[in-house]
């Protein structure tokens, strides 16, 4: 005997008891979604150069072990950075290979080797039209602690590279 007569009030108690468990499960799934693997930037604008390979850009995945691939090697090559002599990579260097002042594009794909989850970064190689330096401070002093500056490169279509 469970100590609870077969009535609707006992069923209501059971439903009330399990409701917080469902809420905890939902909260766990939401938090798990926020911890999903992602790249440090979704898109990059790289400048073309007179000589290939002059402007590298570091692309990073937050967690996991990845293989890296560029869809157009003539525009952008990707070189994985392996840590501690392993074949596991969370970082890769992107290098613009184009030497012509025309817009080229490539997609960098990072595939997680355990889950087979794929991350994507759209890369454009083009002429840099202007550069912006962004800071939270209005004045910089020589003896102050180092300040984080963000550099934004823009092409003629105002595409960004942070």
Model confidence at 101, pLDDT cuts 50, 70, 90, reads confident
Q: Is residue 105 part of a domain?
A: yes
Q: What is the mean pLDDT of residues 134-155?
A: 76
CA distance 39 to 99: 27
Q: Residue 115 sits in a domain of what CATH number?
A: 2.60.40.60
Q: Does residue 98 fall inside a structural domain?
A: yes
What pLDDT score does 13 carry?
Answer: 47
Cβ–Cβ < 8 Å for 48, 99: yes
* Rounded Cα–Cα distance for residues 162 and 151 (Å): 6
> Quick one: pLDDT at residue 34?
46
pTM above 0.85, yes or no: no
H/E run at residue 28:
helix 8-34
Total domains in the chain come to 1
Where in the sequence is the domain holding 106, given as residue range(s)? Answer: 43-125
57-88 confidence digits (pLDDT tens): 999 998 889 999 999 999 999 999 998 888 88
Q: What's the alpha-carbon Rg for the chain, to the nearest Å?
A: 25
pLDDT 10s digits, 13-40: 454 445 566 565 555 554 554 456 888 8
49 exposure class (CB count in 10 Å sphere: 0-12, 13-18, 19+): middle
């Amino acid at each position: 005997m469970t100590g609870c007569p077969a009535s609707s009030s006992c069923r209501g108690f059971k439903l009330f008891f399990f409701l917080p468990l469902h809420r905890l499960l939902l909260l766990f799934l939401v938090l798990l979604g926020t911890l999903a693997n992602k790249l440090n930037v979704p898109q990059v604008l790289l400048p073309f150069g007179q000589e290939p390979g002059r402007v590298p850009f570091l692309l990073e995945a937050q967690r996991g072990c990845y293989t890296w691939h560029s869809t157009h090697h003539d525009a952008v090559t990707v070189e994985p950075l392996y840590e501690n002599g392993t074949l596991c990579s969370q970082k890769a260097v992107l290098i613009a290979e184009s030497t012509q002042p025309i817009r080229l594009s490539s997609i960098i794909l990072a595939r997680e080797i355990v889950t087979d989850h794929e991350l994507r970064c759209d890369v454009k190689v083009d002429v840099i039209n202007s550069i912006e330096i962004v800071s939270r401070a209005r004045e910089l002093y020589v003896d102050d602690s180092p300040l984080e500056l963000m550099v934004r490169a823009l092409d003629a279509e105002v595409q960004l590279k942070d």
